[in-house]
């Protein structure tokens, strides 16, 4: 039985552990930077310590999966793991339907009920959350999080490290840029530029996604999306 350490100790990590066991992995434990979790049990396995332990894992558990929500953090920790000679398996729940003509890169976690149709490409270290649907010929960049129940029509592209909120619906052939945050339940009918928060039905650009570090001036190249005031529903919730 292959040994696996899960990086992160929250809700995503719990689901990742369940999927990993379905694939026959032996969960050695979890790593997390929250010291309050160290020494506790999560999903029947110990939280061993923080990410500084990565450098010594290769002998005990040569495979890791990064299972927390922050997209840039996930990509950074994945690169650190690779630099220590660790490998990043993909975790795919047995109830997911993945076309034999789709491609899924290493480190990606695909949760129960997900559908990935023919010709789709899913980048590395993505999270496709419960019951998300990725239709034909979509291209999903590295480190993307697709929320539960999101629906991406055919030929949609999503840039690296973007977050597609729960229940979003994205029209065919739409391009979502890098470092984009789409709020829950959004209906996206036209392209979304890099580094913005967008929300609504239809989706509007709300503001720059400052958490991504993206600094482009809003107001250019927004297509049919409109720029709205800062006192939006999404701003109040953040």
CA distances from 204 to 116, 181, 192 (A): 27, 12, 9
C-alpha 39: how far from its chain's center?
27
| CA–CA dist 204, 228 (Å, integer) | 7
Kind of pairing between the strands at 169-170 and 139-140: unpaired
In the chain, how long is the greatest CA-to-CA distance?
54
| CA–CA dist 163, 193 (Å, integer) | 13
Contact 198, 226 (CB under 8 A): no
Structure token digits, residue 86: 């660790």
C-alpha 137: how far from its chain's center?
19
Strands across the sheet with 97-98, in order?
Answer: 97-98, 115-116, 133-134, 151-152, 169-170, 187-188
- Marked catalytic residue, from 136, 145, 175, 224: 136
Instruction: Tell me the chain's radius of gyration from C-alpha atoms.
Output: 18
Decide if 136 is catalytic.
yes
3-state class of 133 per DSSP? strand
Active-site residue list: 136
């Amino acid at each position: 039985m292959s040994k696996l350490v899960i990086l992160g100790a929250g809700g995503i990590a719990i689901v990742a552990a369940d999927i990993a066991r379905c694939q026959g992995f032996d969960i050695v434990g979890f790593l997390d930077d929250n010291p309050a979790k160290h020494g506790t049990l999560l999903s029947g396995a110990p939280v061993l310590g923080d990410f500084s332990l990565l450098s010594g894992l290769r002998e005990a558990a040569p495979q890791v999966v990064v299972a927390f929500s922050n997209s840039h953090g996930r990509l950074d920790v994945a690169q650190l793991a690779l630099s220590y000679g660790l490998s990043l398996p993909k975790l795919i729940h047995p109830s997911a339907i993945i076309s034999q003509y789709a491609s899924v890169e290493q480190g990606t976690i695909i949760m129960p009920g997900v559908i990935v149709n023919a010709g789709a490409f899913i980048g590395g270290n993505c999270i496709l959350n419960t019951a998300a649907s990725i239709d034909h010929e979509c291209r999903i960049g590295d480190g993307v999080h697709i929320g539960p129940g999101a629906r991406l029509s055919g030929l949609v592209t999503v840039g690296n490290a973007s977050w597609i909120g729960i229940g979003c619906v994205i029209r065919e052939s739409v391009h979502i840029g890098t470092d984009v945050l789409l709020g829950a339940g959004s209906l996206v009918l036209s392209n979304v530029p890099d580094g913005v928060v967008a929300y609504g039905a239809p989706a509007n650009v709300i503001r720059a996604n400052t958490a991504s570090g993206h600094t482009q001036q809003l107001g250019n190249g927004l297509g049919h999306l409109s720029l709205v005031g800062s006192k939006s529903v999404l701003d109040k919730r953040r």
